[in-house]
A and B are shown apart, each in its own frame.
Chain A
């Protein structure tokens, strides 16, 4: 009985956390194409490949983390405890995903700012020349 509750908890946790990661990555990297084009001055090849590389990195880190924290530290004895532990685990994981999302957004904004600075320097030096 006890054994079965833990297996049910695993079977709920794994699909939910992996689907959440895929959903977040999809929506983040659909919208980041605009940033990438801006950062690389509209050079499409390198912009899209950078986007794809960041996407793969995001998947790897987050799916790996989701699988790594699978274990429940407490012995699950009844369904009430299972639901509580499961919800705290999935909640913690989605907070972690949110932090990763904002980290990636921060990277994109920083890249945008840096490329803007570079472009300004370039145009100024060209103007002087």
Chain B
């Protein structure tokens, strides 16, 4: 091994402990070698900085791609179509009129409903919408479970099958993604009592992706079971943070329950 190879091995951590000690002694007693090692250390650091700068450029380009796609998506929604055939135009007018009529009817019902407070189970029925977490929360794939398959089962309303599948997974391998599907499956089957502790487990993990959702569904669960005070306190927690998921809905439900 020539001296350059030895310096390289020293700087890239390829020497044994005894060799490192011997080489360090050599550096201490040889100023020329010390200078060479210092230069090579700088070169390695400089190459890494160069590489990082290249990566920063790639990331900046990716950011630009992402933001441009977002703008294009928005523009597509806002842009009128270039050529519209007259029949389509008349069809659209009919659609606008239908929408206005629907809004008028809906307004009437809303006004009517304002004078008739909803019961807790009615609030549950109004506000419950099932939630399937997006792909960002699929850490379960790391431990070999087919989360997409579970979500598909949930969508296909195969609740019993899904409950059996998730309950069969060892507790230490069960992720919040699975728990949220499991609890909602129980709710869909009418087993509101069984769903409650599962939402509690999710809340205890303080998982930023799932905690707000779990609180929201837990509150709805309490409403379904006519546990109004407990529902209120869970909803109040959600309204403490304006950025929380379901913040607006929680405020609305509290309003319906006579809480400001």
- Asked if chains A and B come from one complex, the reply is no
